[in-house]
């Protein structure tokens, strides 16, 4: 839903619909105008702002209704996300089904969501007074906060689904993970720079690639004073910077994928590293197409979706290269827990040598103490271990094999320990 929200937001902006609702009514605004008088009142409000007076003078009430609906859907979807998140959260929280640490994270996500509603209004309000559009600074702040909420939610979900990392902490692994953190930071900067391109409508000029008006660096790069203003307010410079950052992101993703080929890791982690390079290449291709075709709405929205997809893959890659929380010394897992109650169980994880798959060396024969309810089912335990989908592990609880759902263990399975 958050992903869809970001794409709806992009469509709202690309169709210039964002300034069509002049009121901030978090609760009563959920209802659309229900009478002709209400439509007329809202249209009259719109006619007062600079966007109407300087650019859209002559907009008919019917045209106004079209832009209104997109902004309305964007806001309604935001409210819906709030309800879908808040109701189960309150339910589980009141019933004490959440560990305090997990509850803190979830309330944190909710607070960020509420802040994003405010931020959205603060952004839109910048287009009501002197300007004919919203401030690019506020647009980027709104975009970055959306990314933060998305990444936070995704990271918590991934930790709950697969709490145990597989990285054995070997030197090459650490370097790869550091590289991945740096790449994710670079990706966020690239996304912010894309926000400036979008906020300044800087995709409507220099519609060629790789040269900009016949030059690699556009002639008017650095035209503004002070020089630092070029980074955020000069259309040519902003577009050039976005290109350079995007190419650097792609180069980084390819380099990390190449490095991952020489690093021992699980098959899913290997796949996600390859996917990272692939999605980065597709995103650059989408960006170039958006530019060459002078930002059609559908392509601009697809480019925004591509940015979020790339962010998703980067976070999944980071998650799959997470250092094992558990080691042979039987430490308590640092995971968030999945809400189960009290009780401690000893769980052994061993590798089955089957189908050629294997656990990374650091986790073979791990003995793990898990804090789970005494009535926990095998499926609960596998989930806590992050092994729910992987059929190549043998898990023993107090000496007894935990059967994987729907799986008959081969009697001849060899185990290592």
Burial 375-387 (b: 16+ CB within 10 A, else e): ebeeebbbbbbbb
* Contact pattern from residue 372 through residue 391 relative to ligand HEM, giving x for each residue in contact according to CB under 6 A and a dash for the rest: --------------------
Minimum distance of ligand HEM from residue 269's CB (angstroms): 21
Minimum distance of ligand HEM from residue 289's CB (angstroms): 8
* Contact pattern from residue 319 through residue 338 relative to ligand HEM, giving x for each residue in contact according to CB under 6 A and a dash for the rest: --------------------
**Closer CB to ligand HEM, residue 146 or residue 265?**
146
Dihedral over Cα of 86, 91, 97, 100: its sign:
positive
**Closer CB to ligand HEM, residue 244 or residue 267?**
244
Residue of the chain from 198, 313, 336, 349 that contacts ligand HEM (CB under 6 A): 198
Minimum distance of ligand HEM from residue 56's CB (angstroms): 18
Nearest residue to 330 via CA among 365, 299, 301, 297: 365
Residue of the chain from 191, 321, 376, 395 that contacts ligand HEM (CB under 6 A): 191
Minimum distance of ligand HEM from residue 106's CB (angstroms): 26
Tell which positions 114-153 bind ligand HEM, by CB under 6 A: 143
What backbone torsions phi and psi does residue 152 show, to the nearest 5 degrees?
A: -60, -50
Binding to ligand HEM by residue 190, rule CB under 6 A?
A: yes
Residue of the chain from 14, 273, 352, 359 that contacts ligand HEM (CB under 6 A): 14
> What is the signed CA dihedral for 188, 189, 194, 200, rounded to 10 degrees?
130
Binding to ligand HEM by residue 10, rule CB under 6 A?
A: yes
Minimum distance of ligand HEM from residue 324's CB (angstroms): 30
347 SS3 class: strand
Q: Which region, judged by CB under 6 A, interacts with ligand HEM, from 50-58, 98-106, 285-293, 318-326?
A: 285-293
The whole-angstrom separation of Cα 60 and Cα 68 is 12
Peptide bond into 210 cis (omega under 30): yes
Minimum distance of ligand HEM from residue 288's CB (angstroms): 5
Binding to ligand HEM by residue 194, rule CB under 6 A?
A: yes
**Closer CB to ligand HEM, residue 164 or residue 313?**
313
Give the total residue count for the chain: 417
What would the DSSP string read from start to end of 101-170? HHHHHHHHHHHHHHHHHHHHHHHHHTTTTT-SS--HHHHHHHHHHHHHHHHHHHHHHHHHH--S--B---
The whole-angstrom separation of Cα 3 and Cα 6 is 5
Nearest residue to 387 via CA among 166, 179, 58: 166
Residue of the chain from 195, 252, 335, 360 that contacts ligand HEM (CB under 6 A): 195
Q: Which region, judged by CB under 6 A, interacts with ligand HEM, from 8-16, 30-38, 211-219, 380-388?
A: 8-16
Peptide bond into 204 cis (omega under 30): no
Residue of the chain from 21, 81, 176, 246 that contacts ligand HEM (CB under 6 A): 246
Binding to ligand HEM by residue 283, rule CB under 6 A?
A: yes
261 SS3 class: helix
Residue of the chain from 21, 212, 272, 295 that contacts ligand HEM (CB under 6 A): 295
Binding to ligand HEM by residue 290, rule CB under 6 A?
A: yes
Q: Which region, judged by CB under 6 A, interacts with ligand HEM, from 52-60, 149-157, 279-287, 379-387?
A: 279-287
Binding to ligand HEM by residue 113, rule CB under 6 A?
A: no
The whole-angstrom separation of Cα 152 and Cα 123 is 22
Q: Which two tokens stand for residue 314?
A: 């980067």
- Give burial (CB, 10 Å; 0-12/13-18/19+) of 321: buried
Eight-state DSSP code of residue 299? H
Residue of the chain from 67, 166, 234, 304 that contacts ligand HEM (CB under 6 A): 304
Binding to ligand HEM by residue 300, rule CB under 6 A?
A: yes
Long-range Cβ contact pairs of 132-135 (< 8 A, separation 24 or more): 132/50, 132/51, 132/54, 132/55, 133/16, 133/19, 133/51, 133/201, 134/18, 134/19, 134/199, 135/199
Minimum distance of ligand HEM from residue 175's CB (angstroms): 22
Task: Report the Cα 381 to chain-centroid distance in Å.
Answer: 28
Residues within the interface to ligand HEM (CB under 6 A): 10, 13-14, 143, 187, 190-191, 194-195, 197-198, 203, 209, 242-243, 246, 249-250, 280, 283-284, 287-288, 290-291, 295, 300, 303-304, 307, 310
């Amino acid at each position: 839903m958050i992903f869809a929200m970001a794409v709806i937001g992009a469509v709202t902006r690309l169709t210039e619909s964002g300034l069509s609702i002049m009121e901030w009514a978090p609760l009563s605004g959920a209802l659309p105008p229900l009478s002709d008088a209400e439509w007329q009142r809202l249209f009259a409000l719109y006619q007062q702002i600079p966007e109407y007076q300087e650019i859209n003078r002559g907009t008919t009430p019917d045209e106004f209704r079209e832009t209104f609906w997109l902004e309305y859907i964007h806001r309604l979807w935001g409210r819906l996300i709030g309800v879908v998140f808040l109701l189960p959260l309150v339910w589980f929280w009141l019933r004490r089904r959440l560990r305090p640490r997990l509850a803190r994270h979830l309330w944190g996500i909710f607070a960020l969501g509420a802040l994003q509603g405010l931020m959205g209004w603060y952004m839109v309000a910048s287009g009501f007074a002197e300007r004919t559009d919203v401030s690019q600074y506020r647009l980027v702040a709104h975009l970055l906060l959306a990314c933060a909420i998305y990444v936070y939610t995704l990271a918590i979900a991934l930790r709950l689904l697969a709490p145990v990392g597989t990285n054995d902490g070997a030197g090459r692994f650490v370097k790869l993970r550091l590289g991945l953190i740096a790449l994710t930071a670079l990706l966020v900067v690239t996304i912010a720079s894309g926000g400036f391109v979008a906020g300044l409508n800087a995709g409507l000029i220099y519609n060629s690639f790789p040269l900009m008006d016949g030059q690699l660096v556009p002639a008017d790069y650095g035209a503004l004073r002070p020089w630092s203003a070029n980074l955020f307010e000069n259309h040519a410079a902003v577009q050039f910077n976005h290109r350079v950052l995007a190419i650097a992101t792609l180069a980084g993703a390819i380099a990390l994928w190449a490095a991952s080929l020489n690093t021992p890791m699980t098959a899913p982690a290997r796949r996600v590293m390859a996917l990272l390079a692939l999605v980065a290449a597709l995103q650059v291709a989408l960006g170039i197409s958006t530019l060459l075709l002078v930002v059609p709405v559908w392509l601009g929205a697809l480019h925004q979706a591509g940015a979020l997809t790339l962010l998703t893959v980067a976070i999944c890659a980071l998650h799959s290269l997470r250092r094992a929380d558990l080691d042979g010394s039987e430490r308590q897992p640092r995971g968030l827990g999945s809400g189960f109650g009290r009780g401690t169980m000893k769980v052994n994880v061993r590798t089955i040598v089957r189908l050629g798959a294997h656990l990374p060396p650091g986790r073979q024969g791990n003995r793990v103490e898990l804090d789970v309810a005494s009535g926990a089912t095998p499926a609960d335990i596998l989930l806590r271990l992050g092994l729910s989908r992987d059929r190549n592990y043998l898990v023993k609880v107090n000496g007894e094999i935990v059967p994987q759902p729907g799986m008959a263990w081969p009697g001849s399975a060899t185990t290592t320990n």
